[in-house]
Amino acid sequence: MKYISTRGEAPSLSFEDVILTGLAPDGGLYVPEQLPTFSQAEIASWVGLSYQQLAFKIIAPFVAGEISDSDLQAIIDKSYSGFRHDAIAPLVQTAHNEWILELFQGPTLAFKDFALQFLGNLLDHILKKRDQKVVVMGATSGDTGSAAIEGCRHCDNIDIFILHPHNRVSDVQRKQMTSVLTDNVHNIALKGNFDDCQNMLKASFGDQSFLPEGRQLVAVNSINWARIMAQIVYYFYAALALGGPARPISFSVPTGNFGDIFAGYLAKQMGLPIDQLVIATNANDILHRCISDNDHSKKELIHSLSPSMDIMVSSNFERLLFDLYDRDGSAIKQLMEDFKTGSMHLSDKALASARALFSSYRLDDEETIDVIREVFENDEYLLDPHTAIGLQAARKTRRNQDVPMVCLSTAHPAKFPEAVRKAGQDKDPALPHHMADLFEREERFEVLDKDLAAVQKFIASHVRA
C-alpha cells in the first residue's frame, strides 16, 4: 500500500517510510492511496475476537506485507499487555441505548495509549530492522505527551522531546511526563499555548537542519498515520459488542485535533455501519463553528477545564477535507493558505457532505461541571471533563434514539481533579495503584521561551551520540 499527501505535491511513500516521515514535505498529511474495505459478512465474522485479534484484522491491510504477520501480531500483543482491563476498551451503560467506551484503561489513563503504545513498539521494530536512530518530537495539550513517553521510553534508538504549554496542563498530566527520568526522555515547558507548541513542531519538521548529522525527526502527534490507524480498531470493537454490523451505531467524540473522530470516519468508510458522528468541543469551538455555521476562523485560545481540547488549529481536519474535496490536493493547499490568514470557508458541496455524517456541539466550563455533577448524582459514575462534553453533546444532537450511542471516554477523572472538585466532589478521585505515588516522584523539565531557535538548540544539544 502507498500513502499520499493531502496537498498533492509530495512523493508517495511505503508504510514504514510514512511512519518515519510524519508530516509530508509539502506540508500535507499522509493518507492511504486507497482505503481497505470489509464486507458486512467479514465484519460479522469478527464477533467474539479479542481486542488484539481484531486489531490485527484491521491493521494488517495498511501494513501490506512490510511487516510479517507474526511480527505484527507480536507488536499488537505487546502494546496492549499493560492495559488494566482484560477487555482493553470496556463498555459501561449510562442510560437507555447509551454507552461509555472507557478508553482510559492504559498505562497513562488516556485514550492516547491505544495509539502510542502501538506506535512505540512499531517504531522500535522498524528502527532495529533498519539499524537507525531517530529523534521523536511531539507537542501535547496534556495526554499525548505522557502516552508518547511511556510508549518510547524503552526504545534504545529513540531520543524523545515533548513540548507542553507551561502551566496549562493539569498537575497529573505534567507529573506523568516530567517524572520519567530516563536518559532518552526530555520535557520542554513552553511559555505559550498548545498551538504555539504545535507550530514549533511543524516548523521543525519543515527544516531539520538543526539536528545532528544522521538523525531525522519522527512525529508522535496524530499527524503520524499510525496514530490514526490504531484508533480505528476501537470503533469496530464497540460496534461488534453492541450488535454490529447487523445494526448501525453512533459515536460521540470529545475532540480538539480531530484525530480520534477522524478514525471513526475511516471506520465508516471501511464498512462499519456508523449512523452519526458527534464532534464535541469545549469553548475552543472552531470545529463546531465550522460544521454548524461554516465558520472555520481562528479566535483567541481559551484556557479551560478540559485542556486536552484547548486547540484552535485541528491538524487532522485536513485529512477529512481531502476527502470532502474529492482528494484534490491543490484545493486543500489553497484552503490551508486561506486558513493561515485566519479564516477559511467550505464549499457548499463539502459542507453538505460533512453534515450528512457529522453533528457538532459546544460546552463551556460551567456546563461541563453541571454534566459531571448531574451524571454522578444520577448514576454514581464519575466523568472527566472531556468525556462530560462528549456525553452532553451526544444527548443534545442525537438523531435516532433507536441507534445505540457510544460516547468515547478519553481520560480517567483522576487526571482532572480541579473539574471534579468544582462539580461537587469533596475529595480528588484516587489514582490507580500503579500511579499512587505520582506526586512523590522527582520531576525534570526545562522551561523555555516561545523561541524556535532556543527550542531547537536544546534538542540538538541533548541528542545522545
Helix (H) or strand (E) holding 163: strand 158-165
Residue 150, phi then psi, degrees to nearest 5: -65, -35
**Upper half-sphere CA count for residue 184 (Cβ side, 13 Å):** 19
What amino acid is encoded at 370 in this protein?
A: D
* Chain segment 352-383, per-residue pLDDT in tens: 999 999 999 999 999 999 999 999 999 999 99
How do the residues of the chain divide into helix, strand and coil, expressed in percent and rounded to 5? 45, 15, 40
Instruction: Please give the mean pLDDT across all residues of the chain.
Output: 95
The helix/strand/coil state of 25 is coil
Distance in angstroms (rounded) separating the CA atoms of residues 278 and 405: 10
If phi over 0 gives left and psi between -120 and 50 gives alpha, with beta otherwise, what is residue 118?
alpha
The helix/strand/coil state of 23 is strand
Lookup: cell for 286: 472552531
Contact in structure between 388 and 422 (CB atoms under 8 Å): no
Q: Is the pLDDT score of 409 beyond 80?
A: yes
Please give the CATH architecture assigned to the domain spanning 86-109+225-422. 3-Layer(aba) Sandwich (3.40)
* Chain segment 131-142, per-residue pLDDT in tens: 999 999 999 987
Q: Is the pLDDT score of 246 beyond 90?
A: yes
Domain chopping of the chain, boundaries: 86-109+225-422
Distance in angstroms (rounded) separating the CA atoms of residues 188 and 161: 7
Beta bridge partners, 95, equal 98
What pTM did the predictor assign?
0.94
The helix/strand/coil state of 293 is helix
Distance in angstroms (rounded) separating the CA atoms of residues 404 and 97: 5
The helix/strand/coil state of 190 is strand
pLDDT confidence of residue 381 = 96
pLDDT confidence of residue 201 = 93
Distance in angstroms (rounded) separating the CA atoms of residues 433 and 440: 14
Residue 275 DSSP symbol? E
Whether 112 is a known active-site residue: answer: yes
Of 31, 456, 340, 23, residue with least CA distance to 206: 23
Which position has the higher pLDDT, 53 or 340?
A: 53
* Chain segment 97-124, per-residue pLDDT in tens: 999 999 999 999 999 999 999 999 999 9
Active-site position among 2, 57, 112, 129: 112
